[in-house]
Amino acid sequence: MPVGIEAWVTQIPPVTRTWLALAVMMSLAVQCQLVTPLQLYFSFKAAFTNFQPWRALTTFLYFGTLSLDFVFHMFFFMRYSRMLEESSFANRKADYFWLLFLSALMLLALSPLVNLPFLSSPLAFVPIYLWSRRHPSTPISLFGLVTITAPYLPLALVGLAWMLNGTWRAAAGDLVGCAVGHIGWFVRDVWTREMVGGPTIFSEAPLALKRLFGDI
């Protein structure tokens, strides 16, 4: 790996870096025909009745074949996941992983209702949505053409995904991710502050997980 690229990769926070690396490797594996998307998608029957539990993980790692849509999702996911992990979750790797883990469980539970075999894009919208709610006055320039404030970013990206794919299905998955992100934001930033008055198991990682990640 060239020195410049290696330095750039090592600057990405660990949780975002790991997810990004696994997602790129998964798409490369499909592109090289080492695996097929049919081996990666999630369904309850395939995962738990046919004893293929890896599908509950690979569904969050496959963003599609190498294409403009893949680059679009990788860029915005990496950018805002990195910014969220470096700001709100600085030195709190376990808490950030816990946010993604609980969001992934929620998406798995919702997947039969919305008929989404791959949940990578919906999960990627969770940190994008949470960052946008925590930085409401930040201006965002979309490709130098339009400037919006951060709370409108998720909907703008949903619209762009719709345009790139030419189908409502991609937009539907991203909207589900926004809904799960909204729940995550409410649990962490509203419910714990205004209704509970402190952290809960839904807003803070268990101690065992914090020890595993070296946060304590």
- Over residues 25-60, the pLDDT tens digits come to 999 999 999 999 999 999 888 888 888 999 999 999
- pLDDT per residue over 97-127, tens digit each? 999 999 999 999 998 888 888 999 899 999 9
Give pLDDT, residue 106: 94
What is the distance, to the nearest Å, from the Cα of residue 170 to the centroid of all Cα atoms in its chain?
Answer: 15
Would you call 167 helix, strand, or coil by DSSP? coil
Q: What angle do CA 20, 119, 5 make, to 5 degrees?
A: 10
Report for 124-128, 169-173, 194-198: range of highest mean pLDDT: 124-128
Cα distances from 155 to residues 49, 120, 129, 175, in angstroms, run 36, 17, 9, 8
Count of CB atoms situated within 10 Å of the CB of 181 = 25
Longest dimension (CA), the chain: 51
Residues 126, 103 contacting (CB under 8 angstroms): yes
